[in-house]
Amino acid sequence: MSASAVFLMLLAMVVVWGGLILSVLAVRAHPERTDFPPGGEDDLREDDAPLEHDT
Protein backbone atom coordinates (compact mmCIF):
# COMPACT_ATOMS: atom_id res chain seq x y z
CA MET A 1 0.00 0.00 0.00
CA SER A 2 1.18 3.45 -0.76
CA ALA A 3 1.83 6.09 1.87
CA SER A 4 -1.24 8.09 0.87
CA ALA A 5 -3.46 5.01 1.18
CA VAL A 6 -2.11 4.28 4.65
CA PHE A 7 -2.60 7.90 5.66
CA LEU A 8 -6.20 7.93 4.47
CA MET A 9 -6.88 4.61 6.20
CA LEU A 10 -5.49 5.95 9.48
CA LEU A 11 -7.45 9.17 9.09
CA ALA A 12 -10.67 7.23 8.50
CA MET A 13 -9.97 5.03 11.53
CA VAL A 14 -9.37 8.07 13.73
CA VAL A 15 -12.62 9.67 12.54
CA VAL A 16 -14.70 6.52 13.07
CA TRP A 17 -13.20 5.43 16.39
CA GLY A 18 -12.99 9.01 17.63
CA GLY A 19 -16.68 9.50 16.90
CA LEU A 20 -17.48 6.29 18.74
CA ILE A 21 -15.45 7.36 21.77
CA LEU A 22 -17.01 10.83 21.79
CA SER A 23 -20.53 9.41 21.55
CA VAL A 24 -19.88 6.99 24.42
CA LEU A 25 -18.55 9.84 26.55
CA ALA A 26 -21.58 11.98 25.69
CA VAL A 27 -23.97 9.20 26.71
CA ARG A 28 -22.06 8.69 29.96
CA ALA A 29 -22.28 12.41 30.72
CA HIS A 30 -26.04 12.61 30.03
CA PRO A 31 -27.36 9.05 30.34
CA GLU A 32 -31.10 9.56 30.44
CA ARG A 33 -33.54 12.42 30.40
CA THR A 34 -35.17 12.81 33.77
CA ASP A 35 -37.56 15.68 33.14
CA PHE A 36 -40.27 15.42 30.52
CA PRO A 37 -42.90 17.97 29.54
CA PRO A 38 -46.31 17.58 31.17
CA GLY A 39 -48.91 15.37 29.56
CA GLY A 40 -48.70 12.08 27.77
CA GLU A 41 -50.23 9.94 30.50
CA ASP A 42 -51.04 6.35 29.62
CA ASP A 43 -54.62 5.53 28.69
CA LEU A 44 -55.52 2.53 30.80
CA ARG A 45 -59.14 2.20 29.65
CA GLU A 46 -59.98 -1.34 28.53
CA ASP A 47 -63.55 -0.99 27.19
CA ASP A 48 -63.68 2.64 26.01
CA ALA A 49 -60.15 2.97 24.62
CA PRO A 50 -59.34 5.12 21.58
CA LEU A 51 -59.51 3.36 18.23
CA GLU A 52 -56.31 1.81 16.92
CA HIS A 53 -55.97 1.70 13.16
CA ASP A 54 -53.61 -0.57 11.27
CA THR A 55 -51.70 1.54 8.81
Whole-prediction pTM value?
0.52
Number of helices and strands in the chain (H, E): 1, 0
DSSP state letter for 50: P
Q: Give the C-alpha separation, 4 to 2, whole Å.
A: 5
Angstrom distance (rounded) from CA 2 to CA 5:
5
Percent of the residues in the chain that have a pLDDT greater than 90, as a whole number: 51
Give the model's pLDDT for residue 53.
79
Q: Mapping DSSP to helix (H, G, I), strand (E, B) and coil, where does residue 16 land?
A: helix
Residue 14 has pLDDT above 90, yes or no: yes
